[in-house]
Chains A and B, each alone.
Chain A
């Protein structure tokens, strides 16, 4: 699944050049945790194929898969963060020898959810490397990792699934081929994609986005009323607004593709005919300007701007653009 990463692991083990600490970084659903456990198994397996592919059947591999290996520690956030007692346990482990051999592996999932204090206590350990201990930090938010931690880890980037591959996987799993491309644009995770496919809110959101754009064509005043009447009732949370803006961006992009004659790129397949109508009423330049406005709105949303204010501004801008 991650050929580059697998090659890196193979080389590290073959050449006995394992880093002291790794940071596995990449989007959700890119197989980071599986790979971390795989690396742990590679190190402990009794009889790995080619010296690095774990057998998955010896008592070492099995115990790692079941969370029973006393020298492989996997830390997952409890609730919204990695808790104090988890870090205390970790520190106590750092201070002691391993139980079975002298090799220890620590895997910290969602390492960005460590408090600063937790990260700092980890730092102490990263500063005093011990050749038989390997730490693997996993994160989807590499920008949230403290620079002091980042600089002490070998960063391994996990590439997202290629778009076509994900569409294919979704269709194979029973998703309507007319819905699959749009879903694959919204997420890179197969699991999340399957969830969106079932999500009533998301289906409704798509309709509302197309409707908003149609209303905009008519009059800005009507669009503002529509915002109050329909939009804000449906989009309330910040991440819902984010999804709404993303859909709007995809819609504008589709319109641009239609104008350019690249219909095979269109993802709003369920609304294709309406989109073709709408595409006739706009210009390429105008669409490009509108896309820029939506992207700016997204940025402001992430900077914590009030969503209601932001949407009202955007509607006015889209009208002008």
Chain B
């Protein structure tokens, strides 16, 4: 293997794939970054086995030559050394050369590093993209879909399947559901692709958080391919792979109430700020309980008591309140997180009783729903 590359681009790519590399791995080869040089360019791969990131540096871009591959080949280099070395090299171009099987020479100007690499054949095999089963979604929409669901996944291991987000694809519609069993977030989005393809998978929340950081805010399409054991996201110059969670996601559709006993329409910000104020006296924000009572058809009372500190009561004017009188208590954290995930200035809340889940939706937007279980007080 022998190639010459623009240092700037190499540094960028190394940083991208480093996101997937961890020193805490039981698989020795994964402490390294795989470098593959081929005719079309150079590919870097980093992985912690849960997620894998491939970054591609093309031979040329807009007529600018970025890489010159003299001899194709592949090698695995220790990630921590590679990362440090490329950052500090003195010139704009870097030469890589493999000699005597795993001996790697990195040259830049007058400096030369000799590193011992590892056999690229020892590196895990990643799934290949099959072009005929590809879905497409704009990058910024995908980002939103992730943001609006992933916060609701469970962080405890008691039910491992709930640590992921359930993705269902049918008739070109993507439905994402996340729940930690105390609240649930649901988001639907249109995606482009083969309408006949249906999938029902669970993607680890951790992977989606990483993917979120990698995605940019453009409307450029991201391609999605789902294989038997991995999901792949492909953008212009990178590929993001994630393993899936094993097992069946619980059917939550029957748990989402369709009726409403009390319906409240209120400004998102008003409610958010009111609950925020009610949590002001909370000793710690974890688990802080806020009570909510209907006063008349335009007013809610939001209150909270903190032992030893005091209590807060305030009246919150609403657009409308219809249906039965209601007295309910809930976790301030869950409602605030749900409100922050929603877009739109007005929301509608459907309550079905003090001990039953309630649903928050933006007015006139059926693509998103946040469900919250109340708190029973004594």
Contact = CB atoms under 8 A, between A and B. Distances in A.
Instruction: Please tell me whether chains A and B touch each other in their complex, using a CB distance cut-off of 8 A.
Output: yes
A118 B244 CA distance: 24
A96 B246 contact: yes
A118 B65 CA distance: 55
Contact of B122 (A66, A91, A95, A130): A66
Interface stretch (B4-12, B25-33, B89-97): B25-33
Interface in A185-224: none
B161 interface: yes
B257 interface: no
Interface string B190-229: 0000000000000010000000000000000000000011
B47 to A, nearest CB: 8
A92 B160 CA distance: 8
A97 B29 contact: no
Contact of A91 (B30, B123, B160, B244): B160
Nearest to B52: A99
12 contacts: A68-B122, A88-B157, A89-B26, A92-B160, A95-B160, A96-B50, A96-B243, A97-B246, A99-B124, A99-B243, A100-B229, A130-B246
A88 B29 CA distance: 21
A94 B27 contact: no
Which residue of A67, A69, A94, A99 has the most chain B CB atoms within 10 A of its CB atom? A99
A97 B229 contact: yes
A274 interface: no
B29 A99 contact: no
Given A62-B122, A63-B122, A91-B157, A97 B27 contact: no
B255 interface: no
B49 interface: yes
Given A68-B29, A94-B246, A95-B247, A102 B229 contact: yes
B349 interface: no
Interface residues of A, number: 23
Contacts of A100: 124-125, 229
A88 B163 CA distance: 15
B161 A97 contact: no
A56 B49 CA distance: 24
A304 interface: no
Interface string B26-49: 111110000000000000000001
A316 interface: no
The 10 closest A-B pairs by CB, nearest first: A95-B160, A97-B229, A68-B29, A59-B121, A68-B122, A97-B244, A70-B124, A70-B49, A96-B243, A100-B125
B313 to A, nearest CB: 45
B245 interface: yes
Which residue of A62, A68, A69 has the most chain B CB atoms within 10 A of its CB atom? A68
**Interface magnitude class on chain B:** 20 to 34
Interface string B110-137: 0000000000011111000000000000
Contacts of B123: 68
Nearest to B30: A70
Contacts of A89: 26
A95 B229 CA distance: 12
Contacts of A99: 49, 124, 229-230, 243
Contacts of A68: 27-29, 122-123
B122 A96 contact: no
A10 interface: no
Interface in B228-246: 228-230, 243-246
A98 B121 CA distance: 19
Given A94-B246, A99-B229, 15 more contacts: A59-B121, A59-B122, A66-B122, A67-B26, A68-B29, A68-B123, A69-B124, A92-B157, A95-B160, A95-B246, A96-B244, A97-B245, A100-B229, A101-B228, A130-B246
A66 B247 CA distance: 30
A73 interface: yes
